[in-house]
Every structure is written in structure tokens, then in C-alpha cells.
Amino acid sequence: MKDFWAFLARYRIRLIATGVGVLIAVLCLLIGFWRTLLIVLLGGAGYLLGYYIEDPDSFMQFLWRVISFFKNRRHL
């Protein structure tokens, strides 16, 4: 049993990402691609709003990094 918990601890992020992928796939099959995409986008917007409410300065730093990344890529 100790090995099982060690496995979960070691691959925690991979297992969570796999679970999210499976959930999105099931949602696509059950309710369709566009409705699933809407749920994912609204969930992401909710996450960003919560991130902003918790720590506005850190969120603005993140936002400026994203904006500068896309500004720099435009010239390629």
C-alpha cells in the first residue's frame, strides 16, 4: 500500500491531467464539442477571476507576460 501512495505522489500532476482529459472526452461524447468548449472556457474564466481576486498584483504580472509574449511573436 505504501508503494501505491508513493506512485500517486510521484505522478500526481500526470494523473490529474489524465483525469481532466478523460472528463473532457466524456463531456464531448455526451453533450457535444461546442457545449464542452463553452464549459471549459467559462471554467477557465472563473479560474482567472478567482486568481485576480486572490492576488491582483500576481495576476497582472501574469497577464503582462502573456501580452508581451504575443506582441513579440507577431514580428516573426
Q: Give residue-wise pLDDT tens across range 35-73.
A: 999 999 999 999 999 999 999 999 999 999 989 988 877
Q: Which residues of 27-62 are buried (b: 16+ CB within 10 A; e: fewer)?
A: beeeeeeeebeeeeeeeeeeeeeeeeeeeeeebeee
- 75: DSSP letter: T
What is residue 30's predicted lDDT score, i.e. its pLDDT?
Answer: 97
**pTM, two decimal places:** 0.70
Asked if 48 and 55 count as a contact pair (C-beta separation under 8 A), the reply is: no
**Residue 20, phi then psi, degrees to nearest 5:** -65, -40
Lowest mean pLDDT among 14-18, 21-25, 26-30, 72-76: 72-76
Distance CA 66, CA 40 (A): 19
Full domain range(s) for residue 56? 2-73
Identity at 16, one-letter amino acid code = I
Domain count, the chain: 1
